[in-house]
Structure formats: structure tokens, C-alpha cells
Structure 1
Amino acid sequence: MPRFSFNKNSFLGGELSGRVDGRVDLPQYNLGLKQCRNFVVLPNGGVTRRPGTIYVDDVRGSSTDPVLDAMILPFVVSEDQAYIVIFWNNSTSGLTELRVINAETGAAQTVTSYLTLDYSGDELRALQFAQAGDLMVIVVDGREPVTLWRTDAGFFVDDYLLGVYPLAGSPHLRCPYIQNASSMTMTPSATTGAITITSSTAYFNPGFVGAHVRIYSGANQGYAVITGYVSPTQVSAFVSITFGSTAASTDWAISEFSSSRGFPRSVCFYNQRLVFGGTTTRPDTFWASKTGNYFVFEPIAGGVADAQSFTLASSRSNRIQWMDGGNKHTLGTIGGTWVGEFREDGTNLYLQYNQETMHGSAYIQPAKIANTLEFVQMSRRRIRELVYNNDEGGYVANDLNLLKDDLAEESRIDGLTNVDAPNHIMWTFSRNGYLYGVTRDRGQQVAAWHSHQIGGRYYTGVDYANALVMSMCSVPSDGGRHDTTWLVVQRTINGSQKWYLEKMDQFRYLDRLSFTGSDPADWFYFVDSAKGVFSEVPANVFSGFSHLANEEVEVMADGKYVGSVTVDGSGQITLPNSLTANRVIAGFKYKSRIKTMRQEGGSAIGSSVGAIRRPDRLAINMYKSRFFKAGFENPESRTRVINTGSDDVTQTDYHDQFCKEIAYVDPGEISNDAYWTNSWIQTLALPAGYDDKAIAIVLVDKPYPCTILSLTTRILESDI
């Protein structure tokens, strides 16, 4: 039988869809993997184990009320000042609670709210936002825009349209307005305080409550907010800027944003302007504020710096789904993607917008990777990358998961977030328990997908499933040296549903697996929902794990894995075998696994497709790793039904049984307080059965680091 060696010198193809199995003509095939689970593809070709997640807090903080849903947003001021904004729906009150924590310290910030939030679960998950300095504007379809301000005294939450902070008494409409062009008059009953406003013809409906009304009386312009509906010709209102008289006037205007006409569903900052996009009555229009003043939407003099509006016009529906401001103003609509800009010639301002693609967008905020914009297609199964193409002379929207088209097969894409450092990774999650990442470097033609399962489990009401990632975002950490990914994870803990705020540990390439110092933030984590506890004196019992009460967890003690234990009801763990330690980490186990694609090559009689083969040797190039298992898929498991008598064993678990365990031990190691990692090539002679695939497996199921640079498989192949 002839022997062949298949070298996988890089994994830059990432995890590929099963629908490209055997497509050896694709350049990515020989670089790709059948599975890349809880490993992250590195831009230089290797794969490294995903860091664990660190438990920060319950999303509720100190509240004990049940959670219906949750959402987190990043509030970034500078490379060393970042915050996490937490929204959660309170099942008891029916209201939406808002918290802000410091991303570096985890400390809760003072939040003062001037309004009551009551988003539904669907609304909470669809929130879109834009931030400029200390101001964040938050919108969602059908609800009033909300502002979140950062000040020395803390954070302030306010209604953008009716807000009292910080521009109380501003003599301008804080949104676009519609100027009356008919003979209809408006008559205020008084010039100040609580009044009624009467129209000369039927005009009002209950949806006008909350709208702004401006009435001119000579040179004077007064403003009022409609507070109640009386009849089609009358509403109650409260005057915010004194009216000039109580005379009937045809010179009046009413705000573009109201319950009757709708509220903006998208927002961005562009050209030093705040831009709102899409309402119920004008879904294809956007409005831009005055340059440098995010609260003025009146085109007072028609100058180049004044407020503007624009309606997208084409043969297809163009309901605005999202907007992004950068060098260009980009809009995603259900009919395609538009790109435009505001152009000045010194005295005039021109708004020029063109439809660049016909790919409709989902109502999900996009993410940026370097100079590209990633957005979710309307089906919520595809992610497209918008980029300028010199050959096309315009923008194109490439399919980013063309070779990973099973990305959202069981669910739909629910969100995107981008990490810039140390590697460009865009994370996307589906609320079926899977988290996906794509390592992206367009200049090097890298788009490598990897899939992840967060440790722990969630009870669906019928059975247990994977823990669910419900929301995520990223912010800079450690003075901008790296980005930290934050997650909201839903699990079943001790029979109850919990919503935890967690952050992914940073990528670490360690020489020595020891915990030093008394600060758990300096330790390494390869378990999920993890917590580290320090004791001044060696101890056998450690407390502080109440968030994992009555759950089985993996334990690291002073840098060494000591096995699984169950946290007791009070949140304590006891180290097995009467061990003592100063530094302990405990959290949920997760497995990291790669599987190669089906190996295809030549044979003595031509193509090897379908040929019977037997892999017998595996060489793995490791970098600063401690432990792994390796083997080949056993062909018997494809037809064998496995039952242990108590719990069924999955097919993947069955394959794992045939993997050989490798743990590096430094022969010169004399210290008992630490393990060491090593970089080496491990060659394994592994028995495997005959089949036509020869799929290699590398597995890590203990809380140690593992980085794989390359992999070589030797195969004996039949020429019959």
C-alpha cells in the first residue's frame, strides 16, 4: 500500500461548511477544517485555544427580580476609559432597568434617569446606538430616542425629544418638523403653562401625544409638548417656550417624530452631525442636525451648516435598517446598500447618494473591521462585507460566509461585534447556543471562521442545551493594548435561570502555568463563568462561588488542574484529596477541538476519492502548550449506536475516546509550584480503522493553553 503525507501548514481556511466537503479545487480547502470548536484561528495561520470567560456580575446587580431579556452596549470614551451599558427587562415590574459599570474595574456607576423605560424583549434585542464623546443616542423602531450622558457626577438617561438634560429651555426643536402649508390654524388657549391647542379642522389623533408643536406669532415662536388627546380638533399641551399670543395662526409646525408619525429606527454621527433615519411614515428618509449641534434640526437660514434631510429614491423599497458614519455616510435598507456624502462648494451644500448594492439588510447594527463594514443580510443567514472595489468603480458586498453557509442553519444571526486587538475578529452570535468568530485580514485574504460553545447549560423546558449567548460587545482594555469581549450568558444554575455578565479573558501565550500575585485579574482562565479566589495561607476550602452553587466545575489550584468538584449550596468548593493552595480558579468546562477535512490526494491509479485508506501517523507542531489529545475518527462510530446505560454518548464524544493523551513534562522541572509549557513537534503513531476519509482530531478537555501551528497526517492508501 502506498504512503502519502498530507501537510496542513496553515489553518487560514477556518471552519468550512459540510457542503464543500471534498472540494479540493478550492484554495481554502487544504487550509480549512471540518471543525474548529473553541479554537481561534490566528492571522498567521495557527489556531489557539479560546480563553475562558470570567464572571463579573449578575446582569441585575443587587436586584432579585427575574430577568426576561438583556442587552449590553459599549460606551468608549478613550483607550483607558470604557463602560458597559446594561439593559435588562424586569419580569416583576415590566420595566427596563439600566445599569452602567466600569469596564476596567467592574465598579457600578451612578445612573440618574429622567424617564421610565419599558422596552419589549424584541425591542431590547434590536437597540441601535451612536456615540460621540460623552453622549450616546439610542433608538429602536417605534420608540422615542433616548440619550445617555456621561458627566463627572455619573450617567444621565433622558428622552432625546423631551429631555431636560443638559439643554433645558433650548429654543429649538430637538427633532425635524413638518411646516404647515395649508390654511389650517392652531390656537393656544394660553401662552404659558398647561394649555389646550385647537385646530380649525380635524387633525389630531392619540398618536400625537409627545409631539412638539411650534406656533409663530409675529417674530415670536413658542413651543409646546402635546400631553393628551381630547378630540380630533383639540389636544392638551404644556408650554416649554412662551407663545407670543393666543391668536389663531397658520404659521405652525409639528415634529416629524411622534407616535402618530413614528420615531427614527436608526442613528449615526456623520460630518459632525447627528443623523436619524427611517420612521413609520417616512421609512426611506434621514434627517441630519446642524453641524456641531446635535440638538438643532431647523434649516434656519439654509446655510451649509444647517440641518438637512434626504429621501432615498429608487425602483425598490428602501426602508432604512441601519446607518454608519465614517468617511462616507452608509445606509443599509431592505432594498440594498446606499453610500453618499455631504459636499460643499463654499456656499452651497450638496447631498449625493447612490445605491451601491442590491443586497437587502436585516435590522441589525453593522460592525467595522479595519476599512470594511460588515452587515447582516435580510435573511439573517449571510454576513456581507461592504468595501470599495477599484475594478468595479464602486462598492461591492462580498459574501463573508460563502464557505461557511451553515453558519445560521439552526437559528438566525442575532448580532455582530468587532475586536481590533490583538487580532481582527468579528464575533456573531445566534441565540441557539452557538457563538461564531471570523478572523479577518482582507489585505492577506484571510477570512477564517471558528465556532464556540460557552460552558454551562440551559434548560429549555424539555431538555438541557448549551448555555446561550444573548448579547455581546467589545471595548478597549489595559490602555488599549487589547480589546475585551463582553457577553451576557443565560444558563440554568441550580434549577434557576440566570443571566450573567461575563468577559472573555485575553489571549495569553505562557511559558509557565503559575498564578502569581493576589489579584485574580492577572491569572489565566480556560474555564467559563470563572472566578479566581486568593487566600493568604494555603487552604483546602474556598468560598466566593455562589454564582455556581450546586454545579460541577473544573478547578485549577496554583496553576495545576486538580479535577472536577461540585460547588456546595453556599458557594464553597473543597479541593480533592485534602489538597491545599493559595490561588484557586473554578468554572465550567469546555472542550476545544479541531478536525481536519477529508484528506484527498493522488494514488497510483489517479484520484484517491473513495479509496480505502488507513491513517497511521500524526505530527503536530505545538507552540507554548501543555496538554492535548490526538487521534483519528473511528469509522465504526458512523453506524454504531452508543448507550452507556445512563447517559447517551454523542458521536463526537465517542470519537474523542480514541484520542491519545499527551501532556508535556519538562525533564528539568524541579519546582512543584508550577507546570511549564513547551513548543515542540509531537509525532504519534495512532491506530485507526480503514475508511475513505482519514479525519484527524486534536482535542483539549482540560483547562490548559494549546496553540497548534501545523499538522501532518501520514496515510496508507489502497490502490485497488
Structure 2
Amino acid sequence: MPAIKRAKTAFTAGELAPELFGRGDVPAWGNGAAKLRNVFIQPTGGLQRRPGLRHLAVLPGAARLVPYEASTELTFLLVLLDGRVRIMRNDVQVAELTGSWTAAMLPQITFTQNASMLLLLHPAMPPQVVQRAETGTWSVAPFVFSAEPFFRFVPAGVGLTPGGTTGNVSVTATAPIFASSHVGAMLRIGGKRLRITSFSSPSVVAADVLDALSSADTTTDWAESAFSSAHGWPISACFYQGRLVLGGSRDLPNRLWFSRSANYENFDPGTGLDDQAIGFSLVSDELNAIRAVFAGRHLQVFTSGAEWMVSGDPLTPASIQVTRQTRVGSIVERSVAPMDVDGMTVSVARSGRGIYEFSYTDLQQAYQADDLSLIARHLIVSPVSMAYDSQRRLLHLAMADGSLATLTIYRAEGVTGWTRQETDGAFRCLAEIEGVVFAVVERAGSFRLERFDDAMALDACVAGTSDAAGTNWSGLSHLEGRTVNVLADGAPRELTTVLSGRIALDPAAASVQVGLSFAHVVEPLPADIVSAAGARTGPIRLVAATFRLLGTGSLAVDLGRGVQPVPFRRLDSPMLDAAPPLFTGDVTVRGLGWQRASLAPLWRIEGDAPLPFTLLSVTTETRMTD
């Protein structure tokens, strides 16, 4: 049979799920791959080895990362820890403050920012304000309502009897409705406010009268704080059309609150004027526990079972409209906030197996949900954190198993493909600031703060500090006892072990990177060759494969006999004295033998050398028997 030549010029569909290995008819097949590990898809269609991870700090435990933008030119990274927050600027800690959250609360904390005020929210914690003053001083303090929202949690027939109209009075209920957690909460009796100061019994509390009561008679005209330790605190928040929007709480999971216009602390609905506060519940045929509120083209509300649109231009008590849009549902186990990706809102599905893109269609005047992960579902398993690098157009999702799924998305160019990033450890949390993606990585039982850095070729990587001779390099205590890779003056050296936070080199070097290696893998889809009878009927032979490379320092290929280095430069030595020249051009590797396994790849690229690697295309020449 004559040789068949095929050129694969793009990998823009990314890594495809194994369920698609028999679907050569789908459009993604031509530009897809069976495995893409530790590479990023380029907008032009090629693949590039991902950057390394620069080590910044060892953390005392699990952490949550929150970006903070003080101005267009001044940004910070907040590292939330158990009971405190570290504030980082340019990879250096500039402040540390205490907070009222715990390590167990970190996965469910949500946040939103307006000007210098960053709100942290959790259903078991009063909203906290992290703020940077113009003097550069940082503070963490509870959010103070000038007028908080009220709600009637108990049946309408339950009445309250105040023990007086002024001062500190006892308040007696006709049913056991109080708990010790009510201390500090507010009551509103006949439109007048009281603050509970002590708990006596389920039917009796003491309260300070803030507004003189008109009567001490028993009344059913009363309500209590919508937010308190007794009923929970807001779950999510955002700023929309000049209002602070609070979504959901522990005991009111499907309710929304809107502050007064340009008065974020005031949630008094008043008489329903256009600029006054608004409060209502999402009413449907199922409980929709609010997981996130997001300010996009409209106010979008993500709940456990559906997605809603809140419209009104401007949004007032009279104009507000709420309509259910889709029924995907959002993840419940932890907070993974939706985010804007090129004008679309991307959210994690409740199942933890889908990443949905919500877009508004002018024709239908409604939102629709498209699953971005449909053809790579095997990579999406219980996401725990998400970050979007808008400069490189990369959407990163950390998974519960510690891997990182990366979506390269250029809609106009038809590039929407997933790859998987792996490291010697586990990715636990992500955040992006000005095109820099930070990560909390768990390595060897400890947590580290690291970030992707184009200048680094290894993970947990640092540029060591040397003595005058350039032979002893220190500053490596975070890698103590580990066998590490060394890149000295741009050239890989032999593996060595970190002892007492240092390593020794011979010969000496002027600059050194020390860290942990990671391997990039490129594996094509099974050969899709059709015979005259309509299907592949016999074994296949790879005659030759030509790899077109750009600025590549190392190439190793497996053609069925194990991974072998391709000698387009001197690769036979484990140690190089100088940085290798980067190769651009075609490299042809000859195949040998016939292959009978129909799902086995014809070729496989795998390499852990800490050197640049960019693959532009692959051309294969094959033969097949009947």
C-alpha cells in the first residue's frame, strides 16, 4: 500500500476525552490530542512548555488567595491564613493583620471590592472589610450597617412584649424563639429599634432601646436582624448600579438584598422610593440557595440549582425584574466565584464536572449556557479554585486531586482547547493579578506560595545566592532534603540534594536556578486511517515523523521503543557546560516496526529537561496492511 502523509498543523482543540477516541468525524478531532501535559496552547496553534513556578514563601497552613487593586498601578495579593492575612506586594510581604476567620472557613469565603473597600464574606462570620488607607496603612474590621435589613423568621402569630419604652428593657416572647446567639442582634418593634444585650431564656432577652417605643403592649408587629449569629451572615456580594448587593445567608439562602443607591451601608427599604433599598426572595419550584452574585451585563445570580437574571435600567423597587435563565446550578462544597472571560461569565457546575459559559443573546433576550469542558470532561473533576490570565487568555482551574486544567481561549481565532498541568505536589488555590498567576501549592506536607514565571524553568524554583567563587549556593531551605534539578548559566546540571539549605556546584556558575523538574507530554490521537473497505483493518507502520520546532532546547520522542533523545544537538551528556543553542526547524525521526494496537499513539513526545520547547506541527508518513 502506498505511504500516507498527514500533517497536523494545530492543537487548538486541546486534549480530548477518551470517550471521543472513536469519533474521527467530530470537528475537534483534526486539531485535538490524546494527552497534553505541562504545555500551553498558543493562539497560532502550536504548543509551548509551560513556565516554571517561582517560590515565594512557605506558608503555615492552607491559604486562600485574594487579589486587591488599590489603583491601576498599585496591586496587592492577600493571603488569607488561619485567623490572619498576609499582604504581598512584588513578591514581598508588606503587612500582616489578624482576622476573625478560621482555616476551616477559607474554602467558603467569598469577596468583592469597590474602591479601597474589599469585603470578605462567610455565612458564619460578620462581613469583614479589608482596607488600605491613603497613608498606606492596612486594616481589617467588621462591616458596619448604618441601617441593616430585617426579616420575620417566626410565624406571624408570635408576639413580643417589651418591659418598657426606653432604656434597657426585658423583651418577652409568646413562644420560645430566642437563643444565646441572638445577643448583639437587633429587634424592630413597631418600626423602632432595640439591640439585644443578654439572653435569659428562649422566651426572654434584655435589649437596649435605640428608638423610644410608642407602647409597651404585646405586639406582632416586629422583626429581627436578617443577619446575625443566630441566623447567619451574607454568603456573597457584588456592587451593581451603585448598590451593594448581598446574596443569601444561612437561614435565608434564596434572598437578595440591595442597599440604597450610593449608600452601601444602608439597607432600609423605607417607603419604596427609587433610590431606597430592595429585598426579595427568589421564588421557584425548588430551593435555589444563592452561591454567587455577579455584576455583568445584568446582575447574574448563581444558585445551587439554576441561574437567574435581575434586570431593571435603572434598578429600582418598581422596575426590578427577576427571571430564571438556565438550570445548571453552581458548586456547593466550596466557593469558586464566577468570573468574566472576554465578556462571558464562566462558572463551575454543581456536578463539578462542567465549566459553563453564560452568554446573553439579543435575539432571545436571554442567557444561554454552553459547556466549555464537554470534549475534555476527564480533566474537570471537582474544581476548587479558578483564575483567568487575560493577557495570555488562559483560564486555570485547580482540581481537588491537585492537578491544574488550563483552557486557552481565543474565540475569534477558533482556539478553545484544554491542557493539564502537573507538579511535584498539588495545586490548592489560585489568583491572578495583572497577568501573573499565583498559586498555593502543597508539597511534601507543607503549603507554599508560588507563581508562574517565564524566567523560571523549574517548579518551586529560586535563583540561588552564591559565595564569591560561585560554587556554593544557598537560600534553598524550602527544598531541604530534596533531590533537585539545577540550571546553571542556562545549562542543565546533574541532580543534587539540598543539605542545610544549600548545594555545591563544580564547575562554578554565575547564575543558578534550583527547583523540581516537571515533564511535558504531547501524545496524538489514535491513527484515523481508512482503508478501501471503509475502515482500518490491519496493523499500521509509522515510516517517519517530522517535528517542526521553534526555539527548542531539547526533544525526546517515543516511537514505541521508549523515550529517546533526538540528536539535533549534543544530548548524550547528562551535564552541559554552557546553555545549549535553541533549535528552529524540522527534525525527522524514522519509525521501525508494525503496530497492531489500534488505540496506541504512533508517537509521543516526553521530556523533563528544563529547557524551552515549542512544537509547531507534526507530519507523519504511514503504511497500512489489509
- List aligned pairs for 1:499-578, cutoff 5 A: 499-506=447-454, 524-535=455-466, 537-568=468-499, 570-575=500-505, 578=506
Q: 1:614 touches 1:694 (CA, 8 Å); kept in 2?
A: no
Residue in 2 that maps onto 1:372: 344
Instruction: Give distance in 1, aligned partners of 2:602 and 2:318.
Output: 62
Residue in 1 that maps onto 2:114: 132
Q: Please, which runs of 5 or more residues in structure 1 have no aligned partner?
A: 61-66, 90-95, 164-169, 457-466, 477-482, 507-523, 635-656
Greater shift, 319-328 or 679-688, is seen at 679-688
Residue in 2 that maps onto 1:698: 605
- Where 2:583 maps in the other structure, the secondary structure is coil
Note the alpha carbon deviations across 1:304-323, whole angstroms, 9 max, x for none. 12111132222232221211
Q: 1:344 touches 1:350 (CA, 8 Å); kept in 2?
A: yes
C-alpha change, 1:348 and 1:230, in structure 2 (3 Å) is: closer
- Where 2:22 maps in the other structure, the secondary structure is coil
Q: Does 1:201 align with 2:174?
A: yes
- Where 1:294 maps in the other structure, the secondary structure is coil
C-alpha change, 1:79 and 1:33, in structure 2 (3 Å) is: farther
- Cα drift, residue 688 of structure 1: 4.8
- Where 2:511 maps in the other structure, the secondary structure is strand
C-alpha change, 1:36 and 1:273, in structure 2 (3 Å) is: same
- Cα drift, residue 246 of structure 1: 9.8
Residue in 1 that maps onto 2:397: 428
C-alpha change, 1:183 and 1:7, in structure 2 (3 Å) is: closer
- Where 2:86 maps in the other structure, the secondary structure is strand
Instruction: Give distance in 1, aligned partners of 2:515 and 2:503.
Output: 11
Residue in 2 that maps onto 1:488: 440
Instruction: Give distance in 1, aligned partners of 2:593 and 2:402.
Output: 32
- Cα drift, residue 672 of structure 1: 7.7
**Alignment partner for residue 400 of structure 1, among 364, 368, 372?**
372
- Cα drift, residue 694 of structure 1: 4.4
Amino acid paired to 2:538: A
Q: 1:128 touches 1:266 (CA, 8 Å); kept in 2?
A: yes
Residue in 2 that maps onto 1:461: none
Amino acid paired to 1:43: P
- Cα drift, residue 610 of structure 1: 4.4
- List aligned pairs for 1:417-456, cutoff 5 A: 417-421=387-391, 423-454=392-423, 456=424
**Alignment partner for residue 661 of structure 1, among 563, 566, 572?**
566
Amino acid paired to 1:305: D
Q: Does 1:107 align with 2:93?
A: yes
- Cα drift, residue 222 of structure 1: 5.2
- Cα drift, residue 183 of structure 1: 8.6
Q: 2:164 touches 2:216 (CA, 8 Å); kept in 1?
A: no
- Cα drift, residue 660 of structure 1: 3.1
Q: 1:188 touches 1:247 (CA, 8 Å); kept in 2?
A: no
Instruction: Give distance in 1, aligned partners of 2:465 and 2:69.
Output: 31
Q: 2:40 touches 2:50 (CA, 8 Å); kept in 1?
A: yes
Q: Please, which runs of 5 or more residues in structure 2 have no aligned partner?
A: none
Q: 1:700 touches 1:706 (CA, 8 Å); kept in 2?
A: no
Q: Does 1:98 align with 2:110?
A: no
Instruction: Give distance in 1, aligned partners of 2:593 and 2:428.
Output: 40
Instruction: Give distance in 1, aligned partners of 2:245 and 2:489.
Output: 53
C-alpha change, 1:21 and 1:205, in structure 2 (3 Å) is: same
**Alignment partner for residue 596 of structure 1, among 520, 524, 527?**
524
C-alpha change, 1:344 and 1:690, in structure 2 (3 Å) is: closer
Residue in 1 that maps onto 2:507: 579
Instruction: Give distance in 2, aligned partners of 1:303 and 1:443.
Output: 45
TM-score by length of 1: 0.79
Instruction: Give distance in 1, aligned partners of 2:81 and 2:566.
Output: 44
C-alpha change, 1:255 and 1:49, in structure 2 (3 Å) is: same
Amino acid paired to 2:624: E
Residue in 2 that maps onto 1:619: 546
**Alignment partner for residue 162 of structure 2, among 165, 175, 187?**
187
Q: Does 1:285 align with 2:261?
A: no
Q: 2:539 touches 2:594 (CA, 8 Å); kept in 1?
A: no
Q: 1:321 touches 1:334 (CA, 8 Å); kept in 2?
A: yes
Residue in 1 that maps onto 2:240: 270
Residue in 1 that maps onto 2:382: 412
- Cα drift, residue 31 of structure 1: 0.4
- Where 2:478 maps in the other structure, the secondary structure is helix
Note the alpha carbon deviations across 1:111-138, whole angstroms, 9 max, x for none. 3x4x532352xx3112211111211112
Note the alpha carbon deviations across 1:643-676, whole angstroms, 9 max, x for none. xxxxxxxxxxxxxx3333345479xxxx986443
Residue in 2 that maps onto 1:388: 360
**Alignment partner for residue 81 of structure 1, among 71, 74, 77?**
74
Note the alpha carbon deviations across 1:384-416, whole angstroms, 9 max, x for none. 1111234544211111111112124xx522222
C-alpha change, 1:622 and 1:538, in structure 2 (3 Å) is: farther
- Where 1:679 maps in the other structure, the secondary structure is strand
Residue in 2 that maps onto 1:513: none
Instruction: Give distance in 1, aligned partners of 2:569 and 2:109.
Output: 48
- Where 1:109 maps in the other structure, the secondary structure is strand
Note the alpha carbon deviations across 1:482-531, whole angstroms, 9 max, x for none. x1111111111xxxx2110101113xxxxxxxxxxxxxxxxx21110001
TM-score by length of 2: 0.91
State, as a whole percentage, how many aligned pairs show the same letter.
Answer: 24
C-alpha change, 1:385 and 1:348, in structure 2 (3 Å) is: closer
**Alignment partner for residue 235 of structure 1, among 205, 208, 215?**
205
Instruction: Give distance in 2, aligned partners of 1:632 and 1:110.
Output: 54
C-alpha change, 1:435 and 1:344, in structure 2 (3 Å) is: closer
Note the alpha carbon deviations across 1:433-485, whole angstroms, 9 max, x for none. 2111111123333220000111x2xxxxxxxxxx1111111111xxxxxx111
Amino acid paired to 2:436: T
Residue in 2 that maps onto 1:141: 123
Aligned length, in residue pairs: 612
Note the alpha carbon deviations across 1:347-372, whole angstroms, 9 max, x for none. 97411121111212213311221111
